[in-house]
Amino acid sequence: MDYFTKWPEAIPIPDQEASTVAEELVRAWISRYGVPMILHSDQGTNFNSDLFTKPLGILKTQTTALHPESNGMVERFNRNILNHLSLFVSRNQTDWDTHLPLFLFAYRSAEHEVTGLTPAEMLFGRTLRLPCDILFGRPSETPSSPNEYMKNLEARLESVHVFARERIKLASERMKTRYYSRATRHHFKEGDLV
């Protein structure tokens, strides 16, 4: 998941070997979006391999051991996937991967609580075309030229990203305030055991 745009990818894989993960990262992420500067993951050894991070110049960071909440956005997304799929998969759970693309479509089309925008708007500067748009129509956004399209897209992305940064900053401040309201402070004195 991209931390800024909140754009997720979820890829069914046959195993969690480092070579499989590296292959899928190239196939499903890098080939579409380019090489990430930072790859943040849990403590899983499949992401700790230098197999793909070093050759591609990716800075590898990871969550604190035994603290999955330090990667809360991804943990919540994973919980959402499981909750969604549990409603649709068959009893033998062999068809979950066929439901995954529609879940991703719905997630990418829904407004994110923190940014106030959809992941699609954050990434593409526009909303995704939905089935209801086909039924009920949608205003045409056809530009007169490629240059006009690029100019409009740049302006739209800049506007969207400024708005999202403000929302992210506010959400971060709320989380910080909430944390400090519950945190207990210890006043240590010389000679105290720590």
The pTM (predicted TM-score) of the whole model is 0.79
Percent of the residues in the chain that have a pLDDT greater than 90, as a whole number:
44
Confidence of residue 161 (pLDDT cuts 50, 70, 90): very high
- For the stretch 1-48, pLDDT in tens is 999 999 999 999 999 888 898 899 899 999 999 999 998 888 777 777
DSSP string, 7-35: -------S---HHHHHHHHIIIIIHHH--
Find the DSSP H helices in 72-193.
Answer: 72-88, 96-109, 119-124, 131-136, 146-182
- For the stretch 120-158, pLDDT in tens is 999 999 999 888 888 887 766 777 788 888 888 899 999
**Which residue segments constitute the domains of the chain, with CATH numbers given?**
18-180 (3.30.420)
Q: Residue range 113-125: average pLDDT? A: 94
